[in-house]
Amino acid sequence: MSCSVLFLSRQPRMAAATGDPGLSKLQFAPFSSALDVGFWHELTQKKLNEYRLDEAPKDIKGYYYNGDSAGLPARLTLEFSAFDMSAPTPARCCPALGTLYNTNTLESFKTADKKLLLEQTANKIWESIKSGAALEDPVLLNKFLLLTFADLKKYHFYYWFCYPALCLPESIPLIQGPVSLDQRFSPKQIEALKRAYDDLCQREGVTALPYFLIKYDENTVQVSLLKHYSDFFQGQRTKMTVGVYDPCNLAQYPGWPLRNLLVLAAHRWSSSFRSVEVLCFRDRTMQGLRDVAHSIIFEVKLPEMAFSPDCPKAVGWEKNQKGGMGPRMVNVSGCMDPKRLAESSVDLNLKLMCWRLAPTLDLDKVVSAKCLLLGAGTLGCNVARTLMGWGVRHITFVDNAKISYSNPVRQPLYEFEDCLGSGKPKALAAADRLQKIFPGVNARGYNMSIPMPGHPVDFSSVTLEQARSDVEQLEQLVGSHDVVFLLMDTRESRWLPTVIAASKRKLVINAALGFDTFVVMRHGLKRPKQQGAGDLCPSHPGGPADLLGSSLFANIPGYKLGCYFCNDVVAPGDSTRDRTLDQQCTVSRPGLAMLAGALAVELMVSVLQHPEGGYAIASSSDDRMNEPPTSLGLVPHQDLLCKRGC
Amino acid sequence: MSCSVLFLSRQPRMAAATGDPGLSKLQFAPFSSALDVGFWHELTQKKLNEYRLDEAPKDIKGYYYNGDSAGLPARLTLEFSAFDMSAPTPARCCPALGTLYNTNTLESFKTADKKLLLEQTANKIWESIKSGAALEDPVLLNKFLLLTFADLKKYHFYYWFCYPALCLPESIPLIQGPVSLDQRFSPKQIEALKRAYDDLCQREGVTALPYFLIKYDENTVQVSLLKHYSDFFQGQRTKMTVGVYDPCNLAQYPGWPLRNLLVLAAHRWSSSFRSVEVLCFRDRTMQGLRDVAHSIIFEVKLPEMAFSPDCPKAVGWEKNQKGGMGPRMVNVSGCMDPKRLAESSVDLNLKLMCWRLAPTLDLDKVVSAKCLLLGAGTLGCNVARTLMGWGVRHITFVDNAKISYSNPVRQPLYEFEDCLGSGKPKALAAADRLQKIFPGVNARGYNMSIPMPGHPVDFSSVTLEQARSDVEQLEQLVGSHDVVFLLMDTRESRWLPTVIAASKRKLVINAALGFDTFVVMRHGLKRPKQQGAGDLCPSHPGGPADLLGSSLFANIPGYKLGCYFCNDVVAPGDSTRDRTLDQQCTVSRPGLAMLAGALAVELMVSVLQHPEGGYAIASSSDDRMNEPPTSLGLVPHQDLLCKRGC
């Protein structure tokens, strides 16, 4: 909270009520708004997740303290708890109820009708005075307004604070004082006041009383709630004393909260009393000793306004740092830990999608998905980049290759330096790069091979042990992730992960490139075992066969969808033997891996958004007349592109 | 060439001909193949650009030297000039003609029929001996084979070298010697030999004579070409002396080239002579003095084979480093400058496209395109990445923003560190990153604003001067590039570059994102002025209007295509005012920028491949029955995607 001092205005000038040149006029020290970093942080969260585009006024809560040492301005503090109306008020602080007007654009912030906003609140205060509600609950006199615009991209907050004070029709002449309480009260009286105030607070169960009534003589001091004024002052017609919990430190001036109390007093009691004595109760602890002796006391003439029906004029918009009437801006980004700032900023872009474009988008399902990327080449790098864009925090790479000189221009997680020597292992370098891009990611790399059909293991040597441990490691990895991406450069390396993922019922997204063609598909998902349903290849070719009798146009449920190997007529084998250089997968139009990588992730996101997840019926553009099944549109079985032909 | 020693075999074992145990048998020192880095580099270029998938045998040329100091093995050297049959042979070197068998795969390298290859070459040598061609041109006796597989991705070269030697039916008994020439010849004779040899070389215009005839007495030495043997030895029946240009250094053994000469001698002259004297001519310069005295001389019995019609058995495959019969492998990558290696590797991936998949692809048109990227955000970064993949070397960024914390996860040229402080300027950071990815790129960044309609310039201040200079800078940049990419985040910022590029007739590729939609389009290209043709908007809305009368299905030529502003009903203005956070462009499905960025570059490449470039008729998938107009397929006007709907 060391930043909060940033948002304090300088020592304010006094606000004087005008009129009656005979006597000294009472002047008031206005509030300075003290908006804590925690407040802005919480506003950010509310705006992002709850308010979104809603510009309706919101109830918020602030408080003020009256125990500051001399020199500090009277502050109305708003912190992270401001949005929780049931949050407790800190000890020895007085609550103030506010209204937040948070605009969607800087333009509406600037053009907001501040006069109208002030009048509306002043009216409410006036109504509570007239109706007597303010007597019952004096907190109603402590209202404030906060007009804001939050530029969440830059962590710039524009704001204008207003603490409405109703104005008496004329200025308030000082009859006596102000003097320090210890100049008027004996130590005994002071002690009695303190005790009486504490007892009343305790009885009422409040941390502080903003306004109260006082009766005293040489030996005793009594205090009471405003609403008991007739009983409390019964028979007493000579003198009325009111206490105000005063956030101001200045010896000659009371703070702002007194203003509305004086209006209430004038309205209620000016017919009975010509003047009122005011005790500005100030209550500090210095060097372990509690002290209220520096409170001030004075007497003012009460204007007559008992029968005025109209709301008096009101003032209260805070001046800005330059002393003029205008809004303030605070840049919170400098106060934030850069890594934390990066996390919030990434969240922001995602959450903005939910405001209007895809309000039902369930981001948690995406962000929390643990993704296993088998292959950290052109596809792996592009898939990882897109996952990062979607806010996915848990990304694991598996690859057994090292970075070669031709990689960086096509594999967007590597740089020239990574190729030096014999090249860094791709899986490890990719994980490192993700951390460099976004420190909040949990990225790991496994530099290992995936056992493949057609690539026999030498059973007489240690390679058998290695292959066994590779299979175990792969099983463990598939088991500990939610989505498995097949992004390798051979067909046969996709086989074992396909089988393992099918047996563990993990969502598999498969992407494969040609020269100017690619396929991006989700594998069908076996039904949960307890349902005892039909199986799905590759573990069991029975699945797709079920479809033979059904219409081609029937929607196929996720558990009947095939996998990458379902339509193959040959078993996977060694596809790398006897291939010329240009028959290897990297001979591909350079843009293709980006297309396929991006579509693979978008497909995953769409599937995760579907209420049935991987069991979602495969939808296609033939279904485009139907309502899209998710907030992100269709959930097809596959995305195909032939760049040459279409 | 300091690397050439890498490819030398160790000192070879002697090869002995077998038979006749009475006398010492002549043994020969085989060649070691010396394949220079330059040879492998040139092979890489030939394979990439010329041979591609062609496995037909290729003529190549090597040479050997006979002036080495003692201890070096006899070497047959192949360097970068080996592929140029008309390249001059280095001074005092003897040429050898070879055949290169470069296979497409490691498997065909391994399974090549080495016995057959050797027999074929041996047969040619034998035919040249029988026909007399070898007498006319003794270089025909110096043939070699080179079987290779070039793994151009790793710069690993597998090779097996063969210098075929025909075998005599029996071993060759030594009658006399070998002794050093200065033990047999007087200094005067040695001097005379040297002079006679030099004179003959000069008359023949060759750097060295592989084989020659010698006649000598106490005072004179004469040399002559093989083809003149009958005149040269006319009347002489007692003794025949032949000279061989001998790459071997050993005092007791001749080098390999003698073998085929002895077969020729046996075939031609064994009916006339029972023995032949051999002078292994060795010719070195030590401490500035030329010396041939260390040549060796000896006499051998000539086997009788005058009437044998069949090709003798042949030997000659080189042993590998382990001394066994097997191929060798050399990893050239360690010898190369890493930056150069990166450039070659990037080229490789591109050139492989031309081998089979798109043989008519004109890569130069793409690689040499100077690209100006207006905007270095999500689109700019992805476009730059795809351009790098296509080998584009000249990329310039323009942007006026700084990198913020939300950028790196979506803008693939930035990292977390770039955001610290107030963030690096995007244009400069993007250019720096390209250099880090690929040092061979020529990337620049301009941190500047683009003047926009709807964003008025304050005419009374320095901002006017700034705006003027921005316009000038932009005009200069558009003028000095070939393709302009519009990748900004507002509509109005695209206006001025559109107008400037239209007036300069530059190809414009425009990409713009929505939440789940995007557009990628090429702007129409004004006809060259000299043709006096119709104009094109935005400078002249007459262009597209011409189409009103024509069929919708007519193919529209490039000069009639519209631009981004053609179909708009409102003029560009300030679109950033009064926008809520989620109405700003970055609220987009994260995969979309990759899709649009990749398609924008692919569109540019397709347009550049079209013979008419930007004037190409806009083709669409309706034309898919027609022959695609470029090796990369259609050249549409735009690529659209609505991810929600299709």
What are the residue ranges of helices labelled H in A456-550?
A: 462-479, 495-503, 542-545
Q: Say if A343 falls within a structural domain.
A: no
Residues B505 and B615 in one domain: yes
Q: Do A621 and B390 touch (CB under 8 A)?
A: no
Residue B457 CA to residue B96 CA, distance in Å, equals 76
Q: Say if B340 falls within a structural domain.
A: no
In the chain, the amino acid numbered B344 is S
Sort A579 into a burial class: Cβ within 10 Å, 0-12 / 13-18 / 19+.
middle
Kindly report, residue by residue over B397-413, the tens digit of the pLDDT: 999 999 999 999 999 99
Q: Do A355 and B580 touch (CB under 8 A)?
A: yes
Min Cα distance A311 → chain B (Å) is 34
DSSP A174-241: EEEEEEEHHHHS-HHHHHHHHHHHHHHHHHHT-S--SEEEEEE-SS-EEEE-GGGHHHHTTT--S--E
Q: Do A595 and B597 touch (CB under 8 A)?
A: no
Residues A381 and A313 in one domain: no
Q: Say if A558 falls within a structural domain.
A: yes
- Give the per-residue pLDDT at A246: 92
End-to-end CA distance of chain B: 59
User: Which chain B residues in 59-98 lie under 8 Å from chain A, judged by CB atoms?
Assistant: none
Residue B283 CA to residue B73 CA, distance in Å, equals 15
What band does B375 get if pLDDT is binned at 50, 70 and 90?
very high
Residue A430 CA to residue B94 CA, distance in Å, equals 53
Catalytic residues of A: 585
- Give the per-residue pLDDT at B23: 62
- Chain B neighbors of A442, CB-CB under 8 A: none
Min Cα distance A615 → chain B (Å) is 20
- Give the per-residue pLDDT at B621: 57
CA A184 vs CA A179, A187, A240: distances in Å: 7, 10, 16
Interface test with A, best of B109, B333, B356, B409 (most A CBs within 10 A): B409
Residues A505 and A554 in one domain: yes
Interface test with B, best of A581, A601, A622 (most B CBs within 10 A): A581
Phi then psi dihedrals of residue B286, to 5 deg: -125, 130
Min Cα distance A640 → chain B (Å) is 12
- Chain B neighbors of A599, CB-CB under 8 A: 591, 595
- Give the per-residue pLDDT at B584: 66
Structural domain total, chain B: 2
Q: Do B355 and A580 touch (CB under 8 A)?
A: yes
Q: Say if B459 falls within a structural domain.
A: yes
The residue range of the domain holding B391 is 346-642
What are the residue ranges of helices labelled H in A212-362?
A: 229-232, 258-269, 338-353
Q: Do B416 and A356 touch (CB under 8 A)?
A: no
In this structure, the dihedral spanned by the alpha carbons of residues B530, B533, B534 and B538, taken in order and rounded to 10 degrees, is -30
Q: Do B345 and A404 touch (CB under 8 A)?
A: yes
Q: Do B338 and A599 touch (CB under 8 A)?
A: no
Q: Say if A73 falls within a structural domain.
A: yes
Computed from CA positions of residues B264, B265, B266, B267, in that sequence, does the dihedral angle turn out positive or negative?
A: positive
B184-200 burial, b for 16+ CB within 10 Å, e for fewer?
A: bbeeebbebbbebbeeb
3-state secondary structure of A511: strand
User: Which chain B residues in 21-60 lie under 8 Å from chain A, judged by CB atoms?
Assistant: 52-53
B200 vs B344, residue with greater confidence: B200
Kindly report, residue by residue over B537-556, the tens digit of the pLDDT: 444 444 444 444 444 545 78
Residue of B nearest to A585 (CA): B349
Residue of A nearest to B645 (CA): A624
The residue-averaged pLDDT of B417-425 equals 92
Q: Do A406 and B515 touch (CB under 8 A)?
A: no
Q: Do B437 and A417 touch (CB under 8 A)?
A: no
Residues A300 and A377 in one domain: no
Q: Does this model's pTM top 0.90?
A: no
Residues A365 and A321 in one domain: no
User: Would strands B370-374 and B211-216 be described as parallel, antiparallel, or unpaired?
Assistant: unpaired
Residue of A nearest to B393 (CA): A409
Q: Say if B438 falls within a structural domain.
A: yes
Q: Is pLDDT above 80 for B574?
A: no
- Give the per-residue pLDDT at A7: 36
Residues B269 and B353 in one domain: no
- Give the per-residue pLDDT at A126: 93
User: Would strands B296-301 and B174-180 be described as parallel, antiparallel, or unpaired?
Assistant: antiparallel
Residue of A nearest to B335 (CA): A421
Min Cα distance A222 → chain B (Å) is 55
* Last-in-domain residue among B334, B362, B381: B334
Prior bond of B178 cis (ω within 30°)? yes
Q: Say if B399 falls within a structural domain.
A: yes
Interface test with B, best of A347, A353, A414, A582 (most B CBs within 10 A): A582
- Chain B neighbors of A628, CB-CB under 8 A: 644-645
Is the Cβ of B626 closer than 8 Å to some Cβ of chain A?
A: no
Residues B58 and B129 in one domain: yes
B422 vs A103, residue with greater confidence: A103
Residues A606 and A501 in one domain: yes
Q: Do A107 and B577 touch (CB under 8 A)?
A: yes
The residue-averaged pLDDT of B122-150 equals 93
User: Which chain A residues in 488-517 lie under 8 Å from chain B, judged by CB atoms?
Assistant: 515-516
Residue B352 has its nearest CB partner, among A104, A581, A602, at A581
Sort A285 into a burial class: Cβ within 10 Å, 0-12 / 13-18 / 19+.
exposed
CA A588 vs CA A403, B351, B355, B597: distances in Å: 18, 11, 12, 16
* Last-in-domain residue among B314, B334, B354: B334
CB count within 10 Å of CB B552 equals 6
Residues A309 and A442 in one domain: no
Residues A328 and A374 in one domain: no
* Last-in-domain residue among B312, B334, B356: B334
- Give the per-residue pLDDT at A568: 72
- Give the per-residue pLDDT at A528: 73
DSSP B478-544: HHT-SEEEE--SSSGGGHHHHHHHHHTT-EEEEEEE-SSEEEEEEPP-PPPGGGT----TTT-THHH
Is the Cβ of A599 closer than 8 Å to some Cβ of chain B?
A: yes
Residue of B nearest to A361 (CA): B589
3-state secondary structure of A352: helix
End-to-end CA distance of chain A: 59
Q: Do B437 and A408 touch (CB under 8 A)?
A: yes
B391 phi-psi bin (left φ>0, alpha ψ -120 to 50, beta other): left
What's the average pLDDT block by block, 10 residues per block, for chain A (646 residues)? 35 47 77 90 89 93 88 89 92 92 93 94 93 92 94 90 89 86 90 92 91 90 90 78 92 91 88 87 85 90 76 91 89 81 84 80 93 97 97 96 93 95 94 96 95 77 83 96 94 92 94 88 81 44 44 69 80 73 74 94 92 83 55 71 38
Say how many CB pairs under 8 Å bridge A and B.
244
Residue B415 has its nearest CB partner, among A352, A437, A601, at A437
Catalytic residues of B: 585
- Give the per-residue pLDDT at B587: 79
Residue B193 CA to residue B214 CA, distance in Å, equals 9
The CATH number covering residue A512 comes to 3.40.50.720
User: Which chain B residues in 107-136 lie under 8 Å from chain A, judged by CB atoms?
Assistant: 107-108
- Chain A neighbors of B389, CB-CB under 8 A: 409-410, 590-591
- Chain B neighbors of A640, CB-CB under 8 A: none
A585 vs B70, residue with greater confidence: B70
B148 phi-psi bin (left φ>0, alpha ψ -120 to 50, beta other): beta
- Give the per-residue pLDDT at A628: 57
Q: Is pLDDT above 90 for B24?
A: no
Residues B511 and B617 in one domain: yes
3-state secondary structure of B580: coil
- Chain B neighbors of A341, CB-CB under 8 A: 405
Kindly report, residue by residue over B447-457, the tens digit of the pLDDT: 999 988 877 77
3-state secondary structure of B312: coil
Residue B357 has its nearest CB partner, among A154, A415, A582, at A582
What band does B100 get if pLDDT is binned at 50, 70 and 90?
very high
Computed from CA positions of residues A608, B489, A518, A444, in that sequence, does the dihedral angle turn out positive or negative?
A: negative
Is the Cβ of B643 closer than 8 Å to some Cβ of chain A?
A: yes
Q: Say if A402 falls within a structural domain.
A: yes
Question: Tokens in use for A148?
Answer: 């804001």
The CATH number covering residue B208 comes to 3.40.140.70
User: Would strands A517-522 and A507-513 be described as parallel, antiparallel, or unpaired?
Assistant: antiparallel
Residues B300 and B357 in one domain: no
Residue A247 CA to residue A75 CA, distance in Å, equals 7
Min Cα distance A394 → chain B (Å) is 14
Q: Do B349 and A595 touch (CB under 8 A)?
A: no
Kindly report, residue by residue over B615-631, the tens digit of the pLDDT: 888 876 555 445 456 66
DSSP letter at A556 equals B
Phi then psi dihedrals of residue A316, to 5 deg: 155, -10
Average pLDDT of every residue of chain B: 84
Min Cα distance B424 → chain A (Å) is 14
Is the Cβ of B598 closer than 8 Å to some Cβ of chain A?
A: yes
User: Which chain A residues in 542-581 lie under 8 Å from chain B, judged by CB atoms?
Assistant: 577-581
Q: Residues 6 or more apart from A183 whose CB is under 8 A from it?
A: none
Interface test with B, best of A152, A331, A351, A594 (most B CBs within 10 A): A594
Residue of B nearest to A643 (CA): B633
CA A630 vs CA A353, A625, B644: distances in Å: 14, 14, 9
User: Which chain B residues in 361-390 lie under 8 Å from chain A, judged by CB atoms?
Assistant: 382, 385-386, 388-390
Q: Do B645 and A602 touch (CB under 8 A)?
A: no
Kindly report, residue by residue over B191-249, the tens digit of the pLDDT: 999 999 999 999 998 889 999 999 988 888 999 999 998 888 887 667 789 999 999 98
